[in-house]
Amino acid sequence: MAGRRRALSAGVALLCVLLVSPAGCGAPAVRDDTRTEVQQLLDRRGRALVAHDAKAYRATGGAVTYDRLRAVSLAGWTYEVTGLRRSGDTATADAELRYSLSGYDTAPATAGRTLDLARDAEGDWRVVSDRPARRSAQQLWDQGEVAVVRARHGIVLGVGQSREALDGFARLTDDAVPAVSDAWDGEWSRRVVVLVPRSLDGMAGLLGSPASAYRGIAAVTTGEVGGSRRAPADRVIVNPDAYGVLGPTGRQVVLTHETTHVATRAHTNAATPLWLSEGYADWVGYRGTGRTPAEAAPELARAVTEGRLPAALPADGDFGFDGDSAALARAYEGGWLACRMIAERWGEARLGAFYRAVGEHRQRAGSVEDALERVLGTTPEEFTGQWREYLRAQLG
């Protein structure tokens, strides 16, 4: 289940100066040399962080971020000052942070940041604090010191987690990546970045959303839809509260599901319905586990046995996290069984080809219809009818 970026005309600014007091135009304008000084300060700060040069970093101001990231290998860390407000010897800078994890990000991840600054005794600017910009999501280091466990097929970054817990996620990652590669024959990085915050609230902070939206959701994947080779790596963000109640098979299914989203990202876009992207990820997750449809799709099985056979494949709106949890489960289960049916009747290779054929489109209209005809030789009406019969046979 798989984050992004203004100008005042000189004429308007001059008019404001002429017609009203400076207070009426907002904060006093910042001289260009001050902005340049702050930008240069942040440039030095970024270079010191990447080089793990503690002395140079502390010379630029507070070292909380450095201390929390000392175990993380960074390929880049730069700020671009986008706004600056000064009041005497203090200032507040708005900036866009671009950073990349060594070995994983082929392009920088971005984040909006707000930095408070103050002049020291020598008159030089220093950073006092660095926090998420208004309406921007937190980054993992905002929540505490980041611990790192390196797996063969990925990296696990955690806050407030034991080494044992992070080692467990590393093992799950090392099982998930080969499982996905065995099912998905498309090109992908075969590496995963897993973020494990302290709690559900930490997960919500990383996603910039209320915790209530993710209660009961074990993990989500964030990334660039239709991601290219030049993009930051997808992040699998874990909800440790929900993950903790899963058994061993459930934990593996979830991480393999999320890893499938990483693998299929380049072929997933606005043309891809959620029943296909989520159903395919579940198909890979359950593949080889031996779980029967009744075991893996209990909510849909209950509906079918009660005579409530779905009339249509799940719509995108059925996958909302903030609705009825049973309805959400039925949506996932319905998508999984649609993909399972394709794999059984047309073959696993054809299922992957169907997924990619849908993603060849750039908009939803006609994407599924075209792929059904070209790859599976059927129509939406016929396919839906076959799926409904498959549900009846597997779950009734």
Mean pLDDT throughout 185-196? 95
Residue 356 is assigned to a structural domain of this protein:
yes
Based on the fold, state whether residues 390 and 274 are members of the same structural domain: yes
CATH number, domain with residue 223: 3.30.2010.30
Based on the fold, state whether residues 310 and 227 are members of the same structural domain: no
Mark which of 267, 285, 309 sits at the end of a domain.
267
Dihedrals φ, ψ of 313, to 5°?
-60, 150
Q: What is the pLDDT of residue 321?
A: 79
Residue 258 is assigned to a structural domain of this protein:
yes
Q: What is the pLDDT of residue 223?
A: 87
Is the per-residue pLDDT at 285 higher than 90?
yes
Residue showing tokens 């779950």: 395
Please say whether the beta carbons of 222 and 99 come within 8 A: no
- Domain count for the chain, please give it: 3
Mean pLDDT throughout 119-136? 97
CATH number, domain with residue 69: 3.10.450.540
Integer Cα distance of 184 and 348 in angstroms: 9
Dihedrals φ, ψ of 355, to 5°?
-60, -45
Based on the fold, state whether residues 260 and 277 are members of the same structural domain: no
Based on the fold, state whether residues 396 and 304 are members of the same structural domain: yes
Residue 286 is assigned to a structural domain of this protein:
yes
Is the per-residue pLDDT at 224 higher than 80?
no
Based on the fold, state whether residues 233 and 348 are members of the same structural domain: no
Residue 3 is assigned to a structural domain of this protein:
no
Helices 248-264 and 163-183: angle between axes, nearest 10 degrees: 60
Domain holding 195, by residue range, is: 140-267
Residue 4 is assigned to a structural domain of this protein:
no
Q: Which residues pair with 95 in a beta bridge?
A: 81, 113
Dihedrals φ, ψ of 117, to 5°?
-130, 160
Closest CA to 331 of 310, 350, 349: 310
Number of residues that make up the chain: 396
Is the per-residue pLDDT at 75 higher than 90?
yes
Integer Cα distance of 88 and 99 in angstroms: 31
Is the per-residue pLDDT at 384 higher than 80?
yes
Is the per-residue pLDDT at 30 higher than 60?
no
Lowest mean pLDDT among 207-216, 278-287, 295-304, 364-373: 207-216
Based on the fold, state whether residues 130 and 146 are members of the same structural domain: no
Residue 2 is assigned to a structural domain of this protein:
no
Residue 1 is assigned to a structural domain of this protein:
no
Based on the fold, state whether residues 377 and 290 are members of the same structural domain: yes
Q: What is the pLDDT of residue 320?
A: 87
Based on the fold, state whether residues 178 and 239 are members of the same structural domain: yes
Q: What is the pLDDT of residue 228?
A: 61
Based on the fold, state whether residues 274 and 385 are members of the same structural domain: yes
Mean pLDDT throughout 234-263? 97
Is the per-residue pLDDT at 15 higher than 90?
no
pLDDT averaged over every residue in the chain: 91
A 10 A CB-CB count for 385 gives 12
Residue 5 is assigned to a structural domain of this protein:
no
Mark which of 241, 267, 293 sits at the end of a domain.
267
Based on the fold, state whether residues 178 and 275 are members of the same structural domain: no
Based on the fold, state whether residues 88 and 168 are members of the same structural domain: no
Based on the fold, state whether residues 183 and 210 are members of the same structural domain: yes
Mark which of 102, 136, 170 sits at the end of a domain.
136
Report the C-alpha dihedral over residues 35, 38, 43, 44, rounded to 10 degrees: 150
Confidence of residue 231 (pLDDT cuts 50, 70, 90): confident
* pLDDT higher at 31 or 71: 71
